[in-house]
Chain A
Amino acid sequence: DTGVSQDPRHKITKRGQNVTFRCDPISEHNRLYWYRQTLGQGPEFLTYFQNEAQLEKSRLLSDRFSAERPKGSFSTLEIQRTEQGDSAMYLCASSFETGLNGETQYFGPGTRLLVL
């Protein structure tokens, strides 16, 4: 049983460059979430997919950010023209829609981004 995996685990880039992160959810999970976490803060919701459909995007997700989940399995998060303020841990989580209250999100190890 493998959990949520993310790649890369660390990324250092220069301001203005584009970066792409990948998330592989738990295999039977149909929901996938992206969160961003900065030091001393809790995770903040960015966007979520149900299967391949992107159903909600947070106001935090500027036009420079785009996420895809083309086949309803893995997902990518791309940041274009990175800024120093984008430096954060990017967390992916997945869950299985149960229609019940107890649906639980399981988090991956995160990708730590540093923009110089």
Chain B
Amino acid sequence: GQNIDQPTEMTATEGAIVQINCTYQTSGFNGLFWYQQHAGEAPTFLSYNVLDGLEEKGRFSSFLSRSKGYSYLLLKELQMKDSASYLCAVRDFPNQAGTALIFGKGTTLSVSS
């Protein structure tokens, strides 16, 4: 079957570093995406990994280990505006035609001052 697991909630303080983990079990794999979603808004693209290793993009980094079915999103120098839901999504190609994504339930991050 297909399963993507992430913690439901996390809390952190401004300026800190937080790591959001994601484990996945899918029949196929052709990339893992992280999206940020503020309450009531659309998901916005943060990062993409298809090969093992770390991808860095400013304050955000994402890591992938395909052999372990594991990824994490690392957020540095947290700001209040980073309070949002973070969605891990896997492209289960070729078991699902096209490039549709399978999403986890999301991790709600609350950043306090």
Q: Which residues of A contact B (CB under 8 A)?
A: 4, 31, 33, 40-45, 48, 50, 55-56, 91, 95, 101-110, 112
Measured between C-beta atoms, what is the minimum distance from A92 to chain B in Å? 9
Measured between C-beta atoms, what is the minimum distance from B27 to chain A in Å? 14
Task: Compute how far the CA of A104 lies from the CA of B35 in the bound complex, rounded to whole angstroms.
Answer: 11
Contact A56 B42 (CB under 8 A): no
Known: A55-B97, A107-B42, A108-B42. A42 touches B33 (CB 8 A): no
B105 in complex: contacting residue of A33, A41, A109, A110, CB < 8 Å: A41
Q: Which residues of B contact A (CB under 8 A)?
A: 4, 30-31, 33, 35, 40-45, 48, 50, 87, 89, 96-106
Contact A107 B44 (CB under 8 A): yes
Contact A95 B101 (CB under 8 A): no
Ranked 9 nearest A-B pairs via Cβ: A42-B103, A107-B42, A45-B100, A56-B97, A101-B50, A48-B98, A107-B43, A109-B42, A43-B103
Residues of A within 8 A of B35 (CB): 107
Measured between C-beta atoms, what is the minimum distance from B21 to chain A in Å? 15
Residues of A within 8 A of B87 (CB): 42-43
Residues of A within 8 A of B102 (CB): 45
Contact A33 B100 (CB under 8 A): yes
Measured between C-beta atoms, what is the minimum distance from A97 to chain B in Å? 8
6 contacts across the A-B interface (CB closer than 8 A): A40-B106, A42-B89, A42-B103, A56-B100, A102-B50, A107-B43
